[in-house]
Amino acid sequence: MAKLFLDHLTQYFDVELFLFYVLTECDKRGGLTLWGYFSKEKESPDGNNIVCILTLFPYQRKVFEKFLIAFSYELSKKECAIGSPEKP
C-alpha cells in the first residue's frame, strides 16, 4: 500500500518475510477503518524495528504516527532487541 504513495520505496512481493501491525478503529456497527500500519522484517540482520510506516491521509498530523513508532520500540524492548527504523 505504501508503494502507492512513495516512489522510492522498494517493493517486495514476498510478504511472508514481514510482520504487519495494523491500526484500525472499530465503528458502532462493528466495521473497521484503517488508520495506518507499520511493517518490520521477521529476521532483520540490521536490527530494524520499522521497515515501512504509513498513516492514511485523513489521519495524518494526529498522534497515530507517534503511537505506531512508540509501539514498534515497545515491541523491540519486549523482544530484548535494540532496534531503529530502516535507513532510506
Give the closest residue to 18 by CA, choosing from 43, 41, 44: 41
Among 16, 41, 65, 86, the active-site one is 86
Q: In degrees, to the nearest 5, what angle opens at C-alpha 65 toward C-alphas 8 and 5?
A: 25
* 86 included as an active-site residue: yes
The C-alpha cell that represents 77 in the structure block = 524492548
Q: What is the pLDDT of residues 13-60, one digit of tens each?
A: 677 888 889 988 898 998 998 888 888 888 888 877 888 888 887 777
Asked if 49 and 84 touch (Cβ cutoff 8 Å), the reply is yes
- What is the torsional sign of CA 56, 52, 84, 82? positive
Q: Global pTM?
A: 0.71
